[in-house]
Structure 1
Amino acid sequence: MIGSPAKRVSVQAWTLADQYLYIILSRPRYYSSKYIVPDDIRPTKRREFHDYFVTHLPSSSLHPDPRGPLTPFHKLPRSASVPHTGEISHSPTAFQPLVDRDTTVVRIPLRSAKHHFGAHSSRGTRPYNEDAYQAGVIDLPSFAKRPPASLTIRRTGANPAPRESRGADTASGDPQVFYFGIFDGHGGTECSTFLKDWLHEYIQDTAAAFELQSSLRQDRSGHFPRGAEPSSGALPIVQGGNSKRIEELEKILVQNWKTLVGGYFKRFVPAHFSHSGKDLTVEGDAGKGVTIEEILEYAFLRTDLEFVSAQAAKRDDDFMKVGQPMHQDDILYGPNHTRSLNIGGVNRFKGGSTASVALISTPTPMPFWHPNAPSSLLVSHVGDTRILLCSTETGQAIPVTSNHHPSSPVEASRLRRYAATFVTDSFGEERMSGLANTRSFGDVQSKRIGVSAEPEIHRIEMGPAEYSFLVLMSDGVSGTLLDQEVVDIVKEARTPDQGARDVVSFATEVTREGDNATCLVVRLGGWERRLEGGLGSLGTKESREWRRQEATDPRRSRR
């Protein structure tokens, strides 16, 4: 019997190696007293994730607010009605209640909001689809820059601003933070499905464990987070957090990787992440806090650790541990919290998955797709899934991510320092241990030589209507179409949902590989002006028509 008196685990049927593996992977506090984690830092309440967003809509004119006046202004003919703009050109007494009428809070599922979000996926010519995606509202404090004073001053004596386009606040009082993710599995769907279901949970729980504070609120000393001012651009936003606890948890995570994998992770420096808020200085004063970039890096590595640990612990003849969560009593979950997960299936899963995640935070309750709303976009990326922005002014495709392939100079330099070898296949593409990606989740057998889930993180401050839309796609799309072709196809669509379908349809029509293809399109403030910049969608129209004709040519198979 091993473990604390409050929670004991029977190991009579285990071998000594199994006992050691259980102690090392599932209870890190046993192998080193230096990394003991106090029980009081573990969150006891699960964070919430919703696949819908909450907004305010005006009370229907057909069903007026019963608390309002009983005048029959809602029964007027349509020609005499007043549009729901909050502004009235004429002011008869009967119409005055329309100006400040009550609004209704409505839940709108993102997958049903075709004018705001669209997603489509196809398995191509593969036996099954290994891609997955997720979209919703994540329970996370705001990380946006504070709005200018001109947007927050309340003018007395004037009519109140219209509330039709105002999103509802979260329980913490911050505007909603939106989450979009795309995951491209290889070797099976186990890893991509796990990321779809649980990666956002790890991000939420990491923010709670680090005690992340909002970037829009003052700290206990009455100061706003450094870098959160609208005019600030020199430093990342350092939000409130427990620096001592953060450093302790990061050391535990790095130590767990060294113990489990070794190899590449033995050279993982520093012991805590380099872009931590505690390492930043302003005018000689050491910073205290955490950046949202550090939250995402920790969450990605923590998610990968749990998945890899679960695969490493699986044995065909060991039915006691098959499907059990290896870290049910670890940092992010309390001792009484057990997740009923069968991580990676019953047998050991040797495949993996790429991941690209986009978080959007706004400084005001106005939603990010409103033409007058500024917002902050945070992209965390691993592998060769791809994220694009479309510039409203120029109409150009702006890549936000880069492919983590052996052909990338950054990745090649990183891995050659650890004696990694590359092989060129018959198609002229470089591979490492048979993998096309140098960063990914899972891939247990390649973790030792440097394949990791360390994310590439970018933050973009988006001005009002600066970008028209955001595109997330798997390599079944990006490997077939050019970035500008993808953007131009979306420009011609009436809704983001139609744009996602058109991109996948065109990619599967002209492809020569038949890979899984998935595309997500997110509407931004400049959506209505998406055809105004540059040449609109005409820049690649001829080349796209030529590619379609070539793909549908019946003589194509003879070449």
Structure 2
Amino acid sequence: MIKAYAANTNQGVFRNYNEDRVSIILNITMPAFKQLEEWPTCSFFAVYDGHGGASCADFLRDNLHQFIIKQESFPSDPHLAIREGFQEAEDFFLEIVENAADEAMREAQATDHEGYVDNSGSCAIVILIVDHKVYVANVGDSRALMSADGGRRVLELSKDHKPNEERETVRIIQNGGKIYQTQTVVPKMDGTGSECILGPHRVFPGRLSVSRSFGDIEAKLPKYGGNMKGIIATPEIRVFDVDDSMDYIILACDGIFDKLTNKEVIQTVWEGVMESSIQDPHRHCGIAVDRILRTSVAKKTMDNITVVFVAFNNFERCILGGPKPFQSSQANIQKVNSDSQGYVVDEESMDEEDFPAHCISDFGYIKGRC
């Protein structure tokens, strides 16, 4: 089913730090306390796009999968377990941060210094594969894409959670939040005057350009002026069966999509396949990830950039001389509705080094055999 995978993260061109994190857990084992007679084959892949510090993304990388599989509803109802696990992880992290902030405040008062509040947060894009079902869970504006039928279909498996998205706008306003845009007056390039530049839509309280995230305590806890119902960590989940048409799934942070469209990301992968005579799917996974990041860097993305690439049987068939990969620039993009079953919904027109398995290149990619 899963033939190979690769992951790559880089701080990008304009930042001297990286708040993105990656989690890959193959063959998740049953927790000892469950003692079930049967346990499914489970794999977990995630990209966590941190902001305001890396501690929230670090916490999710180390713990989110555990919060999911320890739920009583797992593995009988993974959909419910994901929803419950996400909320439990959110509550646990906010409690840790609040307790630490309270302690810091007490120490600050005793020493006449300012207290510190960890205001870090993180988006999350996750795929959990349980036997032959794929669960895609999204909080924030990282994305999941899938190529199918040798690139003939490009499928959007997630939807960005942005404040100006109609359902999110309604939800936030109904719960007491506000949506706003900043305005900046800058000189025109030709020197003939000035112009007003609008910034991204943001949520108040919080001032974030995403409408869902983990962490961000000052945006959420009333004691810091926050609103627990404005920016939330409730995931949107898509579920579908693994089938023979699936080439690969890509998880990536918004830094990739700031400069590349969904089609361009998929096309970048297939161009690498077409240009190479390599027939090893493991190496192709690493090449694909590397090409996506290098293309994004060449277009001068301003953000950290992270990609996880998960290859399925049809990707290997294409590489080994099966059906010729389709020119993805001509492919249709199919969108998936939230909490949907199945993924064919609402079609729209729309020199390599030989790395061994589990190694790291100058771009930091990790590649694995399954």
Task: Please give the TM-score of this superposition, normalised by the length of structure 1.
Answer: 0.47
Taking the aligned partners of 1:133 and 1:394, their CA distance within structure 2 comes to 25
Q: Using the alignment, how far apart are the partners of 2:210 and 2:133 within structure 1? A: 28
Q: Which residue of 2 aligns with 1:406?
A: 163
Candidates 234, 259, 264, aligned match of 1:485: 264
Once the two structures are superposed, residues 374-396 of structure 1 have per-residue CA deviations (whole angstroms, 9 ceiling, x without a partner) of: x2110111000100010116523
User: Rg larger in 1 or in 2?
Assistant: 1
Mapped pair 1:502 → 2:273: no
Residue 179 (str. 1) matches residue 44 (str. 2)? yes
Given that residues 68 and 74 in structure 2 are in contact (C-alpha distance below 8 angstroms), is that contact kept between their aligned partners in structure 1?
Answer: no
Residue of structure 2 in register with 1:135 after alignment = 24
Residues 507-522 of structure 1: matches in 2 within 5 Å?
Answer: 507-511=296-300, 513-522=301-310
Return closer, same or farther for 1:211/1:385 CA change in 2, 3 Å cut-off: closer
Q: Cα offset for 1:490?
A: 1.5
- Of Structure 1 and Structure 2, which has the larger fraction of its residues in strand? 2
Conserved 8 A contact 1:140-1:177: no
Which residue type is aligned with residue 239 of structure 2? R
The answer on 1:296 being equivalent to 2:161 is no
Find the residue that maps to 1:117 and give its secondary structure: strand
Distance 1:498 1:383 in 2: 27
Q: Which amino acid is the alignment partner of residue 47 of structure 2?
A: I
**Which residue of structure 2 lines up, in the alignment, with residue 350 of structure 1?**
119
> What SS is found at the alignment partner of 1:432?
strand
Q: 3-state DSSP class of the match of 2:49?
A: strand
Any conservation in 1 of the 2:272–2:287 contact (CA below 8 Å)? yes
- Does residue 390 (structure 1) correspond to residue 280 (structure 2)? The answer is no
Is 1:198 the counterpart of 2:63? The answer is: yes
Cα distance in 1, alignment partners of residues 249 and 306 from structure 2: 14
Letter in structure 2 aligned against 1:460: F
State the match for 1:83 in structure 2: none
Report the alpha carbon displacement of residue 357 of structure 1 after superposing the two structures with TM: 0.9
- By how many angstroms is 1:526 displaced? 1.0
Shift of 1:191: 0.5
Q: Report the aligned-residue RMSD.
A: 2.6
Shift of 1:488: 1.2
Residue type of the partner of 1:353? S
Q: Is the 8 A contact 2:151 2:270 kept in 1?
A: no
Q: What's the CA shift string for 1:216-251, capped at 9, x where partnerless?
A: xxxxxxxxxxxxxxxxxxxxxxx3xxxxxxxxxxxx
2: CA distance, partners of 1:410 / 1:470 = 26
Q: 1:530 to 1:429 in 2, by over 3 A?
A: farther
**2:255 aligned partner, one-letter code:** G
Deviations 1:41-77 (A, max 9, x none): xxxxxxxxxxxxxx9xxxxxxxxxxxxxxxxxxxxxx
**Using a 3 Å threshold, how does the CA distance of structure 1 residues 462 and 435 change in structure 2: closer, same or farther?**
same
2:217 maps to what in 1?
444
Task: Give secondary structure in 1 for the equivalent of 2:176.
Answer: coil
Question: Which residue of structure 1 lines up, in the alignment, with residue 236 of structure 2?
Answer: 456
Q: Distance in 1 between matches of 2:45 and 2:181?
A: 34
Deviations 1:409-429 (A, max 9, x none): 111111111121111134342
Alignment partner, residue 252 of structure 2: 473
Spell out the pairing of 1:76-475 with structure 2 (5 A cutoff).
Answer: 116-124=4-12, 125-137=14-26, 138-139=28-29, 173-206=38-71, 210=72, 212=74, 239=76, 291-313=77-99, 314-315=101-102, 316-318=104-106, 347-362=116-131, 375-392=132-149, 395-426=152-183, 427-433=198-204, 434-447=207-220, 448=227, 449-463=229-243, 465-475=244-254
Taking structure 1 as reference, are residues 201 and 429 closer, same or farther at Cα in structure 2, changes over 3 Å only? same
1:524 to 309, 312, 329: 312
Partner of 1:526, secondary structure, is helix
C-alpha spacing 1:140/1:524, structure 2 compared with 1 (3 Å): farther
Counterpart of 1:310, as a letter, is I
Aligned equivalents of 1:172, 1:179: Cα separation in 2: 22
Distance 1:530-1:392 versus aligned 2 partners, 3 A rule: farther
TM-score normalised by the chain length of structure 2: 0.70
- Structure 1: distance between partners of 2:95 and 2:310: 34
Which residue is 1:557 aligned to? none
What secondary structure sits across from 1:435 in the alignment? coil
Q: Is the Cα contact below 8 Å between 2:123 and 2:213 reproduced in 1?
A: yes
Q: Relative to 1, partners in 2 of residues 1:129 and 1:535: Cα closer, same or farther, differing over 3 Å?
A: same
Aligned counterparts of 1:519 and 1:211: Cα–Cα separation in 2: 30
Letter in 2 for 1:461: D
**Match of 1:227?**
none
Aligned to 1:304, the other structure's residue is in SS state: helix
Query: Take 1:309 and 1:348, find their aligned partners in 2: how far apart are those partners?
Result: 12
Q: Which residue of 1 aligns with 2:223?
A: none
Question: Which amino acid counterpart does residue 122 of structure 1 have in structure 2?
Answer: N
Q: Is the 8 A contact 1:383 1:438 kept in 2?
A: yes
**Residue equivalent to 1:12:** none
Residues of 2 paired with 1:131 and 1:394: CA distance?
28
Contact map agreement 1:491 1:530 (CA 8 A) in 2: no
Q: Secondary structure at the match of 2:170?
A: helix
SS at match of 2:250: strand
Offset at residue 293 of structure 1 (A):
1.2
d(CA) in 2 for partners of 1:533 and 1:380? 31
> For each residue in 1:92-137, what CA deviation from the matched residue of structure 2 results, as whole angstroms up to 9, or x when unmatched?
xxxxxxxxxxxxxxxxxx9xxxx71111111111120010011012
Higher relative contact order (CA 8 A, sep 6+): 2
Q: Distance in 2 between matches of 1:205 and 1:534?
A: 40
Q: Tell me by how many angstroms 1:529 deviates.
A: 4.7
In 2, the alpha carbon distance for the partners of 1:442 and 1:129 equals 17
Give, as a single letter, the amino acid of the residue that structure 1 aligns with 2:327: G
Distance 1:396 1:413, change over 3 A: same
Shift of 1:466: 1.3
SS of the aligned residue for 1:309 comes to helix
Residue 398 of structure 1 deviates from its aligned partner by 0.6
State the Cα distance separating 1:537 from its structure 2 match.
4.4
Q: Take 1:476 and 1:204, find their aligned partners in 2: how far apart are those partners?
A: 29
For structure 1, the residue ranges without an aligned partner over 5 or more in a row are 1-54, 56-109, 142-169, 214-238, 240-290, 320-345, 363-374, 541-559
